[in-house]
Structure 1
Amino acid sequence: MSFWRVLLCIICPPLSVIGKGCGSILIVFILWCLGWIPGVIAALIILNNPER
């Protein structure tokens, strides 16, 4: 995970997971709307997952 992805994850989490699929974007967007911190945490978890 690059520095720019982490920075984008902090600024706008849905944009940071755009390459991981529609489901990931939707989950992160919903969590981001519920609160900034849950969206950032979800995006970091999705980006650190090596299986996707």
Structure 2
Amino acid sequence: MALTCSDIFKFFFAVILPPLGVMFEKGCGCDFVINICLTCLGYIPGIIHAFYIILKY
């Protein structure tokens, strides 16, 4: 799996605000809602989930 230039910006936004990185990758769907919930429960789980989504797709 190759990383593109846009992935660098997605990772940056995922560290600053994890749901934003997921929204740029997948849009406003189920993964976005899950990431909002994880970010509310804890900032680190939100970042981990955002990185997972960005690397998976």
Q: Could you tell me the TM-score, scaled by structure 2's length?
A: 0.78
Distance in 2, matches of 1:27 and 1:49, equals 16
Q: CA deviation at 1:17?
A: 1.0
Matching residue within 16, 19, 23 for 2:21: 16
Listed as ranges, the gaps of 5+ residues in structure 1 are none
Distance in 2, Cα, partners of 1:49 & 1:3 = 14
Q: Name the counterpart of 2:10.
A: 5
Q: Let me know the Cα RMSD of the aligned residues.
A: 1.3
Q: Does 1:25 align with 2:32?
A: yes
Percentage identity across aligned positions?
36
The 4+ residue runs of structure 1 with deviation greater than 4 A are none
Structure showing greater Rg: 2
Taking structure 1 as the reference length, the TM-score comes to 0.84
